[in-house]
Amino acid sequence: MRNKIIYFILILILLCGCGRIESNQKVQKKKENKKEEVIPTYQDLNDTPISFYQLQGNTLTKVDEIKGNFNPMDDILFLQVYPSNLDTVSLNSDFSNSFYEEYMKYQQKNPIKIGFHITYNVNGEEISYNIMTPSNTMDHWEQFMAYLYDDYVNRGKSFYSHIENDQYTDSTLFTSFKLQCGAYCKDASNIKLSVFTYDSEDDFLNNHYRGNSISEIPICIDNC
């Protein structure tokens, strides 16, 4: 009887030992798997300069801020977009062709598109969104309405309208941007408008642009 008890105890010890070894092996495997999981780091190689400008004759003057007393349905700004960070740019040709020639220098390195971002506060809540196609221009029309223009495709025309969603294609160039006050624009504060260039979805994290090619201006529409 005594021998049977000793034998039984030895079996229990062996079983527990094997269980511990197996458990330790599982833990070790998990640690090894975690080490193998390499999270790719984001690196932006897009060095395209981009800024907002106002065109006077053949000269572009960089816009650093917008100030004014604007009411609902007023145009706040109409700005040209140009691949430069210089304070002034003297054009050798008309704006549409000059934009195209300069833009293509960067487009040849890596296909890029132009997008915009608006952020502001309403009653303590931050509203932030991208405008990357005409379908985004009225996302928050209560405060602001945006209009996108392609001067290059309309070159030579004395008058042309903003781009509608059914006119937008992969070859569309956003060369000009207009922002208009909505019915409740006066409720908005701490307004900022950005223009950026991007080449893939990787340039965005949680819908926020995280690349290098961006320019931002503050906008004050009341009591500036």
pTM exceeds 0.85, yes or no: no
Pair 34, 132 in one domain: no
Q: Is there a domain that residue 191 lies in?
A: yes
Pair 205, 158 in one domain: yes
Burial of 43 (0-12, 13-18, 19+ CB in 10 A): exposed
pLDDT digits (tens, 9 = 90+) for 188-219: 999 999 999 999 999 999 989 999 999 999 99
End-to-end CA distance of the chain: 98
pLDDT digits (tens, 9 = 90+) for 142-184: 999 999 999 999 998 888 899 999 999 989 999 999 999 999 9
CA distance 180 to 139: 13
Report the candidate in 180, 192, 216 with the shortest Cα–Cα distance to residue 70: 180
Q: How many domains does the chain have?
A: 2
Q: If you average pLDDT over each of 4-13, 34-43, 48-57, 150-159, which comes out highest?
A: 48-57
Q: Is there a domain that residue 83 lies in?
A: yes
Contact 117, 206 (CB under 8 A): no
- How many other C-beta atoms lie within 10 A of the C-beta of residue 38? 6
Is the Cα torsion angle 204, 206, 210, 215 positive or negative in sign?
positive
Pair 55, 18 in one domain: no
Pair 27, 128 in one domain: no
Pair 88, 190 in one domain: yes
Give the domain range for residue 102. Answer: 51-220
CA distance 172 to 174: 7
Pair 92, 188 in one domain: yes
Q: Is there a domain that residue 56 lies in?
A: yes
CA distance 21 to 27: 10
Q: Is there a domain that residue 45 lies in?
A: no
Contact 129, 136 (CB under 8 A): yes
Chain centre distance of CA 117: 6
Q: Is there a domain that residue 134 lies in?
A: yes
Q: Is there a domain that residue 210 lies in?
A: yes
CA distance 176 to 180: 14
Pair 12, 65 in one domain: no
